[in-house]
């Protein structure tokens, strides 16, 4: 039987919207002119880029002069962090981030550490939230940069970005937020947040891959990352990815138009899935903050099963989800995010991230839950511990124990 795809991995990427593709296409064919040139066909490209810049600026309440197009969310993160650290090298070498950042941020900080910067990795509590007091305590006289993500890509937890920005501003420290998961999912207003630097990426909100934005607040100085031509007002060299830029502009405009309704709808699917799973299955733990989280994110630990195996079995049913473990160069490491919120290796390895999007339906949720029950039951049969616990007298007390774990979340 050929099943239709049930795509539940919107935190990894989203499908390109048809309206977005349609706006992009002419810039891959008809309007191929280099925007830096002076003749008409070049000016067409330039005009398209500036329209996209206006759309992005409007969507996050920035000025057009504060929007810089990049090659990805990863590049925006690298540029913001390195650019700010290098710019302020003479002032100080202490920089702060969290233990749960995306690799684009985490690995950049690691590299800066190797280059002689001192890095504080702030811990998070069991919901995945940064403690403001711990941040304040970590600040030194030579701290020059704080980078805290807006929304976590694995567990969906939202950080108190406005409060963190206030702390940074009071101390005169540059503040960057990786808002790649937030933009397009929840309202993001750079002025209200008070951030200096903010990263976003097109393919997380139904735009194209390979295009991102770095918002740089007026007056904030950071070093250039790409050297070459005078593109992006001398700050990010390289002939522009015009079709990509057109696409990110259209996609962000569309995402803003129906943001509130989409947020509600996607959260309702997420909650439906959670309630069905908790009522029909046992030994499950919700990861991340119970309420202060992205509308589409659901991260669950299934005790006595291996997330990677579940992902593969769900894929056989044409259901796309993401497991909480990352297989790096042949060695399996549990997710640094799940370990940071206090999960055991076993629970971290048994975690699955479901991330819902606007094209999902209640039927998708029903089919998912059905498939989960079947796959988890099958996999747990391979666990002697589960079989021992779930049979006989122990059953009730352990069920209660797990209910307690869940209710504590
Ligand atoms: C996807 C993602 C990135 C990377 O963006 P790309 O455009 O894929 O390079 C960075 N940070 C977070 C939180 C993400 O979810």
Domain 259-407 listed as CATH 3.90.1150.10 = yes
Active-site residues, by number, are 327
Q: Domain 18-257 adopts which CATH fold?
A: 3.40.640
Q: For residues 375 and 31, is the Cβ–Cβ distance under 8 A?
A: no
**For the CA of 212, the nearest atom of ligand 1:** 7
User: How many whole angstroms from 180 Cα to the centroid of ligand 1?
Assistant: 6
Other Cβ atoms within 10 Å of 315 Cβ, number: 11
- As a whole number of angstroms, the distance between CA 72 and CA 76 comes to 6
The strand pairing partners of 328, in sequence order, are 331
| pLDDT value of residue 357 | 98
| pLDDT value of residue 288 | 98
Per residue in 126-156, pLDDT (tens digit) is: 999 999 999 999 999 999 999 999 999 999 9
- Which residues, including other chains, have CB under 8 Å from residue 76's CB and lie 6 or more apart? 70, 180, 199, 200, 201, 212, 213, 214
Hey, do 18-257 and 259-407 end up sharing a CATH topology, with the first three levels equal? no
- As a whole number of angstroms, the distance between CA 52 and CA 155 comes to 31
Residue nearest to atom 5 of ligand 1 (CA): 73
Give the start-to-end residue ranges of the domains of the chain: 18-257, 259-407
Mean pLDDT value across residues 186-198: 98
User: How many whole angstroms from 387 Cα to the centroid of ligand 1?
Assistant: 40
Cα 204 from chain centroid (whole Å): 8
Kindly list the strands in the beta sheet with 297-302, ordered across the sheet, starting from the edge strand earlier in the chain. 284-287, 297-302, 351-355, 322-323
Question: Is residue 403's pLDDT more than 50?
Answer: no
- As a whole number of angstroms, the distance between CA 304 and CA 327 comes to 19
* Percentage of the residues of the chain whose pLDDT score is greater than 70: 93
- The model carries a pTM of 0.94
């Amino acid at each position: 039987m050929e099943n239709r795809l049930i795509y539940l991995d919107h935190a990894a990427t989203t499908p390109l919207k048809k309206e977005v593709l349609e706006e992009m296409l002419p810039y891959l064919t008809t309007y191929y002119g280099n925007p830096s040139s002076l003749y008409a066909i070049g000016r067409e490209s330039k005009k398209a880029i500036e329209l996209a810049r206006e759309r992005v600026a409007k969507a996050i309440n920035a000025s057009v002069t504060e929007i810089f197009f990049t090659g990805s969310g990863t590049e925006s993160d690298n540029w913001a962090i390195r650019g700010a650290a290098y710019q302020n090298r003479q002032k100080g070498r202490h920089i702060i981030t969290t233990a749960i950042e995306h690799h684009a941020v985490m690995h950049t900080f690691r590299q800066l550490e190797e280059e002689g910067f001192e890095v504080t990795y702030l811990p998070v509590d069991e919901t995945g939230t940064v403690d403001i007091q711990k941040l304040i305590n970590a600040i030194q006289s030579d701290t020059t940069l704080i980078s805290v993500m807006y929304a976590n890509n694995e567990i969906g937890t939202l950080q108190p970005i406005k409060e963190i920005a206030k702390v940074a501003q009071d101390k005169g420290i540059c503040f960057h937020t990786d808002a790649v998961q937030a933009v397009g999912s929840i309202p993001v207003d750079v002025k209200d947040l008070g951030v200096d630097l903010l990263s976003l990426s097109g393919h997380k909100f139904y735009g194209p891959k390979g295009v991102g934005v770095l918002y740089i607040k007026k007056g904030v100085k950071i070093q250039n990352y790409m050297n070459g031509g005078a593109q992006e007002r001398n700050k990010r060299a390289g002939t522009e990815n015009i079709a990509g830029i057109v696409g990110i502009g259209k996609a962000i405009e569309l995402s803003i138009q129906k943001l509130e309704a989409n947020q509600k709808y996607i959260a309702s699917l997420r909650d439906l899935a959670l309630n069905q799973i908790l009522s029909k299955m046992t030994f499950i733990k919700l990861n991340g903050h119970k309420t202060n989280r992205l509308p589409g994110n659901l991260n669950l630990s299934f005790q006595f099963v291996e997330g990677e195996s579940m992902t593969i079995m769900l894929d056989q049913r044409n259901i796309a989800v993401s497991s909480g473990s990352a297989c790096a160069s042949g060695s399996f490491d549990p997710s640094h995010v799940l370990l940071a919120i206090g999960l055991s290796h076993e629970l971290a390895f048994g975690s699955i991230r479901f991330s819902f999007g606007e094209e999902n339906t209640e039927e998708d949720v029903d089919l998912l839950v059905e498939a989960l029950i079947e796959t988890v039951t099958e996999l747990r049969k391979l666990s002697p511990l589960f079989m021992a616990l779930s049979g006989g007298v122990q059953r009730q007390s352990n069920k209660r124990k797990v209910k307690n774990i869940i209710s504590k979340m």
